Structure 1
């Protein structure tokens, strides 16, 4: 498993422009989602991030944000470097606001991303990039649009432009009368791996209808009508090859049918193009009820196979026909199937392929036409039975949400037998498992890994015969899948009601993938048992079958690791997108409704090759990691409930214009209408208060966890310091033990000596400068210097001066002054009372003949108070100076 190096970098966080790729705050309809009368969105997959190299396309509401990650990273880092050295200009406006303006940055920097306007009427659910990366399928819950992307040269010029206006691209509406809101929802849109230049799009709707669209920008009709439409409900009940399994364009019948529950499609997928056998032309479908079906061969009218596909199929079909004809015990169904496959291959052999240039480079591609014999519509294989299914799992309770199929490896050994030149194949194509691996994902986050032991091959329904001999034929054998392993990726407390877990492929290995669920992101790797199982299937080992099966069953299973934990389960995560770029590194990108989620992995410099044929693979040794190293942790984003606008004003406006508007200007009275209004208002306020309380509690818990993490880091630093002391020999037992206090005192003594040396050098420099300038001091400077010397002598005199001097300490003088002040105040009060008694002619006045003018008394009191204030300030300054000296 890769080691996480860091999480979301600075160029993807606020206030960097990269954060605006994922920011949803500009959506004006955000607050309306919390209204009680708002329409609840239909649950579905959220694949809102698509990539083309270093470019990413992020769906935000009804818009698409388009940006180049390399450009965003470099521009932000350059801006941070430039901001520390280039001066800025502060501009103030008339309303009191201001902004910091950088002239150099404003003249050279670009925005780094563009906003693409789309013609969609609802929020975008999925973005699917075409194989040649020139088309982008944009899916809502019911509609499909295809965006024509500019090439990489034009993209660079558009993204480096300083224009911030919304960018307009060419959009085509796929099936304007087929994929509409009044019809069934679209659950999957897959680009056919064998389409010519990646222009064939397969759409699967919830009502089990598969449509093939062969798109051409030169022909608008290709976006209006599919070249092939198959109703799987009709096909499941079909008996003959020549029946009509199409879909009427005006069919709107939504009557009850038992198949509406058993044939409700949840997801569909194709294996990779480089898979072997019939895998690239097999469409796998997962039904919500837990059933799995396969449709093979499903081909567009014009298709471009890989160079080894048709020869390998031809060899396997000829071998199958020979084995069936020579075996007298073979069933009529097996013989009919072998003849049908031979007719299909004969139709291909009779064709002369058309050479077409690829759009990705100067590569020629051979284009074939879909064979018409034995038929264009294959047989629907399934539902598959699950062998070795866990006993505690009931298929009726499982609700599938996604399917991911890893095709079998391409076997070219029989194809190149006897040839002088060997076919060049990559390591990934030669290594792997010769079986299809089907991975199923349920609502609860449970992953079921199944193996296609029998192998899915091309099958068609039998032709309609004039005789009735086929009426008494035996029923065909049901296909099955071997359940290899079942494990959970989500804890029971993390399961959300409307969650939709999703699979995502990995860029490092075909046998690893990501699972995005309500609890976070989980990395799953099958490499621990895939190559070992392949060696057992090939029979390379000389040990007994029982010993090998027991060893394989008890060995380590699928490796899985939770690489990211999502704290807010209510905010759904976008499907993880793996990116590996020389300028960016290896990381996984996801997003919530407001913030990105990025996990950067530590990519090793030397890749370790996986051995295929070893029976017991050694466990990989991990490099030594320092325990004190910085441990990356996910970036904490406060809940959006703290920044969300309140829905109460909108509700009040709705109340003023609704059917209860007559209650607003009236006095409040007890009635059912008033109770209804208060009940609705209470629901609105309660929802908001609950969200705010949860957000504040989460923030509080995060702050407490931060303190704990800080304490752990301090402990690790102390442990590292002790280990360093042991390495450097500071704690060696050969020397006498030195206390920590002695070490600190020695450091302080060395610092004091250094300070004295610096002070002496400074005094020497001052004297030299004084002799050079020859400038006399002014009278004010001399008076100030005398005052400073007097203050120094009175405060910072030596112990001998303090012993010989009869002058008391400043604080003692302060206490004497306080006593004198109290005495003077008491005498002043007596004089004031005596004066008041003299004015009134009172015989009780103590000094009847003494009269002091009021002005003189006020001046004396002011002088006394001024002296006291001066002494108080002096004592406070002395105390502050003494404290600083003691601390120094």
Structure 2
């Protein structure tokens, strides 16, 4: 949820030049009066603000006003800074006195010299008028109040809509609008459909630029009689503005059974007969999915009817269209997979097989084309232009009305009427696109999101209904008349598509619904396509779907089915969409125009709207990105947790800009009444004394009625101004209190808060004291961590690993073999190694034998006596002395090695017993 930083800035308020963008025009009698709005007979959306980068176009009455917000802001702030620091100065005279003189600044000439000039006189120069302030008036050929401004995707066309007419403005470059000329600018205007969109025909509900149009030049208009027209505009061809390239009457298409029927709109203006579809199919709004969406969403037109029904046309394309690079390959993969699935499934209905075959024919026609390559916008890649496939046909099947599953209880009366529709298309599935390939396609940031389309509906009562397109709208056509076996039937299951109701939000209170010009509308956000704004006559509400969109996508993509019901229950019961009313105004101030979200490094992140008197803006904290440098927050010190709050103190809370009531500036009707009395039949009464008579009573009654009508709004305006002044005093006291608290904090840090009789403490002492407290706290935490580690090690009883268990078995076997324990543990058998006790006995025996031999060698006489009788005589053979010495040394070496081995075995057995 974005945090509100501030409201309307000073450079959009009076007397700044930015205020001229939204100020009412005094010479235009067509401007509505907010107090007398009930006299207007036509209700509809009010989208009177369009943007092109940092430039805005604002419709006021019959004229359009252009302004560069960055220029307006910089020029006003520069002017304010100069007025503060250089408006008046004191000059000291020779006698020591001071005089005040007006500011004069030095201006550098062409020759390098400087001259003094007056800033106020320079700003009022005829050549430095509105154009130098980033403001310009655009003249239009419209004959009625402008209701909507719709900017084209490439920002070179501007659709200007009244209640019944549509005009296309060829937008000039910004350099032409900033030229040093204060006169109104007259760009090139084209009237769209001079015989189609006229006052004698049905009113225009929506005008949408097709997201797949070539260079953003394809416009789709939807009228209240549910007629959809596709216009392919070209500034070089004037006939492209006269007739649409495709016109579809949805009432005819709803009753159609074959593709060969005529579904074009009727050109007759005399056919005004009764039809039930005139009430059930009264279109109020239409929209496409975003160009970045996947599947069939960018070419699906969603139409909302006033009664609550929703229809879809897919695919609706101009004769020449340019898809994004990933769209055609992704559609080809999905169509081929669908055809293969229908052929392998024996239970597939004939209707589903026919639709799959139609999609395959449409894709085959598209794949057989050689696209024409044209240059895109500066800095963007080239664009491929395709021709609309002729098979199966140009007119798609009308899908709907959609059945709303699990929808809430419908409202009664006019409160259930729809006013707007917003569709957030599904994301492009790059995994399906690169299935079977060795290289993965890099996903863009725009590919993140939900793999389902989200449809949002808005009612007159301000209720936002959020639906999910679970089945997915795909391309469908009616069968051809020659295909008798595949004839289209109204009882088919595919003729009853459905949308799953996910959530319902209320954005208006019952008291706010009674506004005479109540027509809520949607506005997209500049930070995320899963958040939007709802603009009502009395305020603006922010709605975000991000709390559940990505969690739902994770559940849809989960491969494991274990616990899916539990997780889905948590998703449903968890926090859903977030909503917050970011701006509120009184009904007396008039209706608000549809808000426009702007995000720019020079301006910040804010929404811009307008009432009939002034601008409305709400600035938010921008998300952390390239515009906002990341600031590393220092961790709070535990020693100062009790003394200071870790959060910074807010000096002031943002408040909306106060606009005084228009009744204070409006003229009175009493002077007009006096003039009428002086020239009317009651003229003699004005020249004589007051006498009690019927004529005098009539004059007093009329005067009382007029004076009461004039005084009542003045009393309300003065009372409101008085209450605002009292509130301002309270806010000022609160701000002074917060400022005083900040002052105490600063004095506490700097050491200036000590009393007179106390010894002042330097900053170095404060820092050293705090550093000592931090170190002591760190040592205490380290000791506590060591104690916890010891307790945790003792309390932990984890299972032994397989290697530890094998090592224990080996030790037990070795113990049983060496010490001869009673445990029947058998060590792993080895063909090359003997048991340890046997080896020990052999070593002892060899030691005894070798010791006896050594003794015999040292004492030959004694050795001969000890020889058994059967031994041969020593004189039978002679051994040299050198050989005897070598053998002796070899025996000593073997004895040492055996002794070392025995000692090592003993020490190892002792360590095992101790362990």
TM-score normalized by the length of structure 2 = 0.71
Q: Structure 1 residues 692, 175: CA separation in 2 closer, same or farther (over 3 Å shift)? A: farther
Query: Residue 504 of structure 1 corresponds to which residue in structure 2?
Result: 523
SS at match of 1:267: strand
Q: Is the 8 A contact 2:547 2:578 kept in 1?
A: yes
Distance 1:288 1:217 in 2: 35
Is 1:711 equivalent to 2:730 in the alignment? no
* Mapping for residues 274-285 of structure 1, pairs under 5 Å: 274-285=292-303
- Residue 258 of structure 2 corresponds to 240
Secondary structure of 1:413's match? Answer: helix
Which among 183, 186, 189 is matched to residue 201 of structure 2?
183
Partner of 1:308: 326
Take 1:542 and 1:729, find their aligned partners in 2: how far apart are those partners?
64
Question: Which residue is 2:229 aligned to?
Answer: 211
Structure 1 SS opposite 2:493 = coil
Cα drift, residue 662 of structure 1? 8.6
Question: Could you tell me how far apart the structure 2 residues matched to 1:35 and 1:673 are?
Answer: 32
1-structure distance, mates of 2:520, 2:67:
26
Partner of 2:43: 43
Cα shift at 1:470: 3.7
Distance (Å, rounded) in 2 between the aligned partners of 1:579 and 1:632: 19
- DSSP 3-state at the match of 1:492: coil
Partner of residue 342, structure 1: 360
Asked if residue 644 in structure 1 is aligned to residue 666 in structure 2, the reply is yes
Aligned position for 2:633? none
Q: Aligned equivalents of 1:428 and 1:672: distance in 2?
A: 78
Give the superposition deviation at 1:85: 1.8
Report the secondary structure of 1:239's partner residue.
Answer: coil
Given candidates 721, 738, 742, the residue that maps to 1:699 is 721
**2:610 corresponding residue in structure 1:** 591
Q: Is the 8 A contact 2:519 2:536 kept in 1?
A: yes
Query: For residues 261 and 501 of structure 1, do their structure 2 counterparts lie closer, same or farther at Cα, with a shift above 3 Å needed?
Result: same
Distance 1:350 1:672, change over 3 A: farther
Compared CA separation, residues 362 and 471, structure 1 to 2 (3 A)? closer
8 Å contact 1:89–1:101 — kept in the other structure? no
SS of the equivalent of 1:316 reads helix
Contact 2:34 2:612 (C-alpha < 8 Å) held by counterparts: no
Alpha-carbon deviations, 1:400-438, whole Å to 9, x = none? 111111000011212123435444442122x10000001
Equivalent residues of 1:21, 1:66 under 8 A apart: yes
Select 1:555's aligned residue among 571, 574, 577. 574
Asked if 1:330 corresponds to 2:348, the answer is yes
Q: Tell me if structure 2 keeps the 8 A contact 1:378–1:459.
A: yes
- Per-residue deviation, residues 493-519 of structure 1 (Å, max 9, x unmatched): 222243111111111111111111123
CA distance in 2, matches of 1:647, 1:371: 66
Structure 1 residues 625 and 575, CA gap change in structure 2 (3 angstroms): farther
Among 507, 513, 519, which residue is 2:532 paired with? 513
TM-superposed CA distance for 1:256, in Å, is 2.2
Q: For residues 311-348 of structure 1, what are the alpha-carbon distances to aligned partners after superposition, in whole Å with 9 as ceiling and x for unaligned?
A: 11111011111111111111111111111111111111
1:262-411 matched pairs, under 5 angstroms: 262-361=280-379, 363-391=381-409, 393=411, 398-411=416-429
> Offset of 1:42 from its aligned partner?
1.5
Give per-residue Cα distances to partners, 1:456-501, cap 9 Å, x unaligned.
1111112214647747784334111111110111222222243111
| Correspondent of 2:120 among 102, 110, 129 | 102
Note the alpha carbon deviations across 1:576-627, whole angstroms, 9 max, x for none: 1111112111111111112111122222555799xxxxxxxxxxxxx96433
Residue 116 of structure 1 is matched in structure 2 by 138
Does residue 532 in structure 1 map to residue 551 in structure 2? Answer: yes
> Given the superposition, is the C-alpha separation of residues 75 and 258 from structure 1 closer, same or farther in structure 2, using an over 3 Å criterion?
same
Could you tell me which residue of structure 1 aligns to residue 17 of structure 2?
17
Does residue 446 of structure 1 match 2:463?
yes
Q: 2: distance between equivalents of 1:258 and 1:18?
A: 49
Distance in 1 between residues matched to 2:357 and 2:747, nearest whole Å:
81
**CA separation of 1:432/1:468 partners in 2, compared to 1, >3 Å: closer, same or farther?**
closer
- The aligned residue for residue 167 of structure 2 is 145
Q: Quick check: 1:36–1:684 contact (8 Å CA) kept in 2?
A: no
Alignment of 1:801-812 (within 5 A): none
Secondary structure, aligned partner of 1:311: helix
> For the residues of structure 2 that align with 1:557 and 1:360, how far apart are their CA atoms?
41
CA distance in structure 2 between the partners assigned to 1:288 and 1:66 by the alignment: 34
Moved more, 203-212 or 25-34: 25-34
Distance 2:82 2:220 in 1: 49
Say whether the 8 Å CA contact 2:350–2:486 is kept in structure 1.
no
Larger radius of gyration: 2
CA drift of 1:652 comes to 10
The CA distance in 2 between the partners of 1:135 and 1:470, in whole Å, is 43
Equivalent position SS for 1:202: strand
Report the Cα offset of residue 541 of structure 1. Answer: 5.8
How far the C-alpha of 1:680 sits from its partner, in A, is 10
Following superposition, the deviation at residue 678 of structure 1 comes to 11
Alignment of 1:460 with 2:461, yes or no, is no
Worse-superposed segment, 474-483 or 162-171: 474-483
For residue 78 of structure 1, what is the aligned residue in structure 2?
Answer: 78
The question of whether the paired residues in 2 share the 8 Å contact of 1:31 and 1:647 is answered with no
Instruction: Please report how far the alpha carbon of residue 705 of structure 1 lies from its aligned counterpart in structure 2 after TM superposition.
Output: 2.2
> Residues 340-387 of structure 1: CA distance to partner in whole angstroms, max 9, x if unpaired?
111111111121111122244563211111111111111111111111
**Cα offset for 1:150?**
1.3
Give the CA deviation at 1:253: 2.2
Q: CA deviation at 1:164?
A: 1.4
- TM-score in terms of structure 1 length: 0.73
CA contact (8 A) 1:514 1:523 kept: yes
Is 2:457 the partner of 1:435? no
8 A contact 1:333–1:476 mirrored in 2: no
Distance 1:354 1:233 in 2: 36
Identify the residue that residue 912 of structure 2 maps to in structure 1: none
Q: How many residues align?
A: 707
Say if 1:129 and 1:421 are closer, same or farther in 2 by CA, change over 3 A.
same
Alignment check: 8 A CA contact 1:111 1:162 kept: no
Q: Aligned pair in 2 of structure 1 residues 392, 297: CA closer, same or farther (>3 Å)?
A: closer
Secondary structure of residue in 2 paired with 1:15:
coil
- Trace 1:788-803 onto structure 2 (pairs within 5 A): none
Secondary structure of the 1:193 match is coil
Cα distance in 2 between the residues matched to 1:276 and 1:573: 34
Superposed counterparts of 1:676-755, under 5 Å: 689-720=711-742
Q: Distance in 2 between matches of 1:671 and 1:174?
A: 64
| 1:612-647 deviation per Cα after TM superposition (whole angstroms, max 9, x unaligned) | xxxxxxxxxxx9643342211111111223223456
Stretches of structure 1 lacking an aligned partner (at least 5 in a row): 91-99, 610-622, 739-888
Contact 1:302 1:369 (8 Å CA) reproduced: yes
**Paired residues of 1:63 and 1:117 also in contact (CA < 8 A):** yes
Task: Please say which of residues 42-51 and 20-29 is displaced more in the overlay.
Answer: 20-29
CA distance in 1, matches of 2:708, 2:564: 65
User: d(CA) in 2 for partners of 1:413 and 1:81?
Assistant: 56
Deviations 1:68-107 (A, max 9, x none): 11111111122223334266979xxxxxxxxx97244456
Q: State the partner residue of 1:29.
A: 29
Counterpart Cα distance in 2 of 1:178 and 1:7: 43
1:845 maps to none
Q: State the alpha-carbon separation in 2 of the partners of residues 184 and 680 from structure 1.
A: 44
Note the alpha carbon deviations across 1:803-829, whole angstroms, 9 max, x for none.
Answer: xxxxxxxxxxxxxxxxxxxxxxxxxxx
Return the offset for 1:695: 2.8
What runs of 5+ residues in structure 2 fail to find an aligned partner?
89-100, 104-117, 629-644, 761-915
Q: CA deviation at 1:221?
A: 0.8
**Alpha-carbon RMSD:** 3.6
Q: Does structure 2 retain, via aligned residues, the 8 Å contact 1:34–1:647?
A: no
